[in-house]
Amino acid sequence: IDLYLKYGNKKMIAPVMARANWVVENPAETTLELDYGKLETLDRWSWCDALFMAPPVYAKLYALTKDKRYLDFLNKEYKATYNYLYDKEEHLFYRDHRYFAKREANGKKVFWGRGNGWVIGGLAEILKTLPAEDTEFRPFYLELYKEMSERLAGLQGKDGYWHASLLDPDSYPSPETSATGFIVYGLAYGINQGYLP
């Protein structure tokens, strides 16, 4: 999509548009319970990483075409994943349903640093793309972005990094550079836009 926006060659966007159109016209009818033994569960955004992988694509296609089908699909599927995987007390996303009942060595819930990094990076991409004047959908993403940003900022380690386990960094003391990269990217976007202090 970005190459198409730069060069205007329709061959650059045709495959992604064809796939996105097929997905929108044939929405998956499967559970959000990720099961690698049932590959159809990968057709939904059933793990938090997917919130970086797919939603920004639909936001960009909407911005490019003004075809509201992309935006409707994005919002329906994003909110389904949010309602399923987002812990509204911790303001963090579970990696997938298999982590709901798991606990870290310190007794805290299991929230993966990199997975939440994917989510905050994806939210930045969505907010960069959705029109600022959109009052129907954008406020949800902006509020979620701010809520997660505040929580993530408070979980940064003394070493400047975020760790594999956000709530039990002592069990995973090595810096998690990919989580840190994503989270810094997400927070920097909000600071630069004036959404965060």
Q: Rounded to whole angstroms, how far apart are CA atoms 80 and 150?
A: 23
Residue 93: alpha-carbon gap to chain centroid: 9
Please choose, from the candidates 160, 51, 161, 170, the residue with its C-alpha nearest in 3D space to the C-alpha of residue 115.
51
Q: Which of 2, 35, 43, 49 is flagged as catalytic?
A: 49
Residue 4: alpha-carbon gap to chain centroid: 23
Is 159 marked active-site?
A: no
Query: For residue 107, is it left (φ>0), alpha (ψ between -120 and 50) or beta?
Result: left
Q: Which residues are catalytic?
A: 49
